[in-house]
């Protein structure tokens, strides 16, 4: 076929670490053969090497492809992919279908080159595609179960399963029979899959410091904060050049690895979901797996003291301490809790109340006006919560709030399943110049329809609101009220017009 009659197409290739059949070269060869047989000319390649297909985040190649297609300047009229699994092993089959629909709706359909069906919209082919999408996701679920079972078995045998060794400990590479081979330096990984890793005592100075931590805690009855301050005053470095803090000292006092016990499986984070705590009965605990740094009797004495300091205090006692801290400083923050010797750690409040912020709310602190200039970030978070709550309350049957937990920001979801990112931009005052706003795109939300909210000059309420089809910038940038970039969006006068503005933007992108 003459070159001028060929249809320009892009190819998308992805490989995790699954099978040689999915190597990037094998995929490209199959795609090139398909292109030659069907009259396509490959003009652009998007690649995601060593990337999981379970979630979109970190798949820069696919995200760039979607951005180019949605911008309308892709320069090609089709996308060639090896098969369904290379497009993604999304746990929700609708997610993969959603990304495909975004491409098809802009006139850039997807062709699966190695599949037995034709992606032409015919009912039999649509059914086959749906089944293959579900199979691709199920493969990841089954593989995750097998991998976890293998990790648990190795943990039961006393081998360490990833992670940093911790202060006073080092990682030792051993053979499958447990014979020492070499000590791994920071950042080094084992190269032979049959080799294993155990923990061994670290440098003498670090081991002596661990003993000193237990002595100050048990014999001198010092608090965890006081021990951290003492070590910093002695100019003893923690890991690298970092300073000691509550978490560093508490880990040494509470983690059983210092007695030679290998513990695994306290949390679970499967297939891109947020980490969750697992019941203690499901933990893997292998005692005597490593050479101990601290005698078990000393460790148990420390556990008794730690439990006595927090577990016997009621929720009301913890909140009373928080109210006293608020009365003393006029504000609250996790930093203030950490720096107050008489206060439990922020993790105690997270464990009792779900989050530090929730504990703040229970003592009457948490409205936007409660936060001073030094707490601008928390004040913005409070405004963010206030806005999404107001939108959901305005449209109770059409809009829901999704709170993924952990470090993931809450977002909105329409009854149709459409996800809406809510992004607040703080005002930055510059003397002698018009006010401007700082926009910080969120990487894993850029492809979603976005409600951008510009705050007023004091950053304590909403100034202007716009609905955008997606965020077309990757990095932080600044805008002014007359910036032409704002014309990409649909201005929103108040939240009453939220769903209407979203529908208008959706129709434009369709």
Q: What is 61-75 written as a DSSP string?
A: HHHHHHHHHHHT--S
Confidence of residue 339 (pLDDT cuts 50, 70, 90): confident
Q: Poorest-confidence range of 271-285, 366-380, 447-461?
A: 366-380
Model confidence at 271: pLDDT above 90: no
* 381 vs 383: CA distance, rounded Å: 5
The CA angle 274-405-166, to the nearest 5 degrees, is 60
User: Distance between CA 264 and CA 192 in Å, rounded?
Assistant: 22
Could you give the CA distance from residue 263 to residue 158 in angstroms, rounded to a whole number? 9
Residue 467, beta-bridge partner list: 451, 490
For residue 443, pLDDT beyond 80: yes
Residue pLDDT, tens place only, 44-87: 999 998 777 788 888 899 999 999 999 988 899 999 999 999 99
Q: In this model, does residue 373 exceed pLDDT 80?
A: no
Q: Which domains does the chain have, with CATH numbers?
A: 3-142 (3.40.50.1390), 205-307 (3.90.1750.20), 315-366 (no CATH), 375-509 (3.40.1350)
Residue 394's pLDDT band (cuts 50, 70, 90): very high
- 432: DSSP letter: T
Cβ contacts of 445 within 8 Å, gap of 6 or more: 409, 411, 421, 423, 471
Query: Quick one: pLDDT at residue 115?
Result: 92
Greater pLDDT, 261 or 314: 261
Share of the chain above pLDDT 70, in %: 93
What pLDDT band is residue 276 in, cutting at 50, 70 and 90? confident
Give the confidence band of 334 by pLDDT, cuts at 50, 70, 90. confident
210 vs 368 pLDDT, higher one: 210
> What's the chain's average pLDDT?
86
Query: Which element (helix H / strand E) includes 79?
Result: strand 79-81
pLDDT for the residue 370 = 64
Better-predicted residue by pLDDT, 375 or 217 = 217
Q: Phi first, then psi: what are they for 46, rounded to 5°?
A: -115, 130
Average pLDDT over residues 2-21: 79
User: What is the value of pTM for the model shown?
Assistant: 0.51
Average pLDDT over every residue of 197-215:
93
pLDDT greater at residue 221 or residue 41: 41
The mean per-residue pLDDT over the stretch 105-125 comes to: 91
Quote the Cα angle for 437-440-441, to 5°: 130
- Asked whether the predicted pLDDT for residue 280 surpasses 70, the reply is yes
For 143, how many CA atoms within 13 A lie in the half-sphere containing its CB? Answer: 16
The string of pLDDT tens digits covering residues 151-196 is: 888 888 888 888 889 999 999 988 887 788 888 888 787 777 778 8
What's phi and psi for 210, nearest 5 deg?
-60, -45
Q: Which of 312, 198, 322, 302 is nearest to 251 (CA)?
A: 302
CB-CB neighbours of 269 under 10 Å = 10
**DSSP per position, 96-113:** HHHHHHHHHHTT--EEET
Give the model's confidence band at 278: pLDDT under 50 very low, under 70 low, under 90 confident, else very high.
confident
Residues 364-379 have a mean pLDDT of: 66
**pLDDT given for residue 120 in this prediction:** 86
Name the β-bridge partners of 171. Answer: 184, 199
Question: What's the pLDDT at 140?
Answer: 80
Q: How far apart are alpha carbons 22 and 257 in whole angstroms? A: 40
Q: How far is it, in rounded angstroms, from Cα 270 to Cα 256?
A: 25
- Phi first, then psi, for residue 63 (nearest 5°) are -65, -40
Q: Taking 70 as the threshold, does the pLDDT of residue 374 lie above it? A: no
Contact present, 69 and 37 (Cβ < 8 Å): no
466 SS3 class: strand
Q: Which residue has the higher pLDDT, 148 or 364?
A: 364
Q: What is the pLDDT of residue 432?
A: 66
Using one digit for the tens of pLDDT, what is the confidence trace for 463-508?
Answer: 899 999 999 988 899 998 888 899 889 999 889 999 999 998 888 7
Choice among 60-69, 236-245, 397-406 with the minimum mean pLDDT? 397-406
Q: What is the pLDDT of residues 302-321, one digit of tens each?
A: 988 887 676 567 888 889 88
For residues 402-426, give the mean pLDDT. 84
pLDDT at 111 > cutoff 60: yes
Measured over the CA atoms of residue 212, residue 215, residue 216 and residue 222, the dihedral's sign is positive
Closest CA to 440 of 361, 495, 350, 376: 376
Phi, psi of 419 (to 5 degrees): -95, 135
3-state secondary structure of 288: coil
Cβ neighbors of 182 (< 8 A, separation 6 or more) are: 172, 173
Residue 247 pLDDT class (50, 70, 90 cuts): confident
Which of 68-72, 264-268, 375-379, 441-445 is predicted least confidently?
375-379
Q: Residue 279 has what pLDDT?
A: 83
Residue 452: helix, strand or coil by DSSP? strand
| Closest C-alpha among 131, 103, 104 to residue 117 | 131
Structure confidence at residue 44 (pLDDT): 94
DSSP, res 440: -
Tell me the Ramachandran region of residue 62: left when phi exceeds 0, alpha when psi lies from -120 to 50, beta otherwise: alpha
pLDDT at 358: 85
- DSSP state for residue 3 in the 8-state scheme: G
Beta bridge partners of 436: 428, 480
Collapsing DSSP states into helix, strand and coil, what is residue 482? coil
Give me the residues paired with residue 79 across strands: 10, 110
């Amino acid at each position: 076929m003459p070159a001028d009659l060929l249809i320009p197409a892009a190819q998308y290739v992805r490989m995790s670490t699954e099978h040689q059949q999915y190597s990037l070269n094998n995929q490209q060869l199959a795609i090139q053969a398909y292109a030659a047989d069907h009259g396509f000319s490959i003009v652009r390649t998007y690649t995601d090497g060593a990337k999981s297909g379970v979630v979109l985040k970190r798949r820069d190649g696919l995200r760039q492809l979607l951005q180019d297609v949605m911008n309308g300047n892709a320069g090609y009229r089709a996308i060639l992919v090896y098969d369904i699994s290379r497009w993604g092993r999304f746990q929700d089959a609708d997610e993969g279908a959603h990304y495909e629909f975004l491409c098809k709706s802009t006139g850039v359909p997807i062709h699966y080159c190695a599949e037995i069906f034709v992606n032409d919209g015919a009912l039999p082919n649509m059914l086959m595609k749906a089944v293959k999408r579900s199979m691709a996701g199920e493969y990841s679920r089954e593989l995750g179960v097998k991998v976890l079972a293998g990790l648990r078995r190795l943990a039961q045998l006393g081998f360490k399963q990833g992670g940093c060794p911790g202060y006073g400990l080092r990682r030792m590479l051993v053979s499958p029979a447990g014979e020492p081979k070499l000590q791994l330096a920071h950042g080094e990984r084992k190269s032979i899959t049959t080799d294993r890793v155990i923990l061994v005592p670290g440098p003498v100075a670090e081991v002596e410091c661990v003993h000193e931590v237990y002595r100050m805690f048990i014999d001198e009855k010092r608090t965890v904060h006081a021990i951290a301050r003492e070590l910093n005053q002695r100019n003893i470095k923690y890991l690298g050049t970092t300073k000691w803090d509550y978490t560093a000292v508490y880990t040494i006092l509470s983690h059983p690895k210092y007695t030679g016990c290998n513990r695994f499986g306290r949390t679970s984070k499967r297939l891109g979901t947020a980490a969750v705590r697992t019941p203690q009965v499901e933990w893997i605990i292998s005692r005597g797996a490593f050479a101990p740094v601290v005698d078990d009797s000393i460790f148990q004495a420390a556990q008794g003291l730690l439990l006595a300091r927090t577990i016997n205090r009621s929720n009301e006692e913890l909140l009373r301490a928080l109210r006293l801290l608020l009365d003393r400083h006029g504000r609250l923050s996790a930093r203030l809790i950490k720096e107050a010797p008489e206060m439990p750690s922020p993790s105690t409040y997270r464990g009792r109340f779900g989050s530090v912020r929730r504990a703040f709310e229970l003592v009457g602190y948490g409205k936007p006006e409660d936060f001073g200039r030094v707490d601008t970030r928390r004040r913005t978070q409070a405004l963010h919560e206030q806005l999404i709550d107001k939108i959901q309350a305005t449209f109770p049957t059409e809009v829901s709030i999704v709170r993924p937990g952990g470090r993931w920001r809450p977002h909105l979801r329409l009854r149709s399943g459409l996800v809406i990112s809510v992004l607040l931009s703080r005002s930055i005052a510059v003397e002698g110049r018009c006010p401007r706003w700082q926009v910080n795109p969120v990487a894993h939300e850029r492809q979603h329809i976005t409600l951008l909210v510009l705050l007023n000059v004091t950053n304590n309420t909403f100034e202007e609101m716009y609905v955008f089809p997606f965020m077309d910038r990757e990095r932080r940038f600044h805008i002014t009220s007359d910036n032409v970039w704002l014309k990409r969006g649909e201005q929103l006068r108040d939240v009453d017009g939220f769903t209407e503005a979203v529908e208008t933007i959706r129709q434009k992108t369709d």
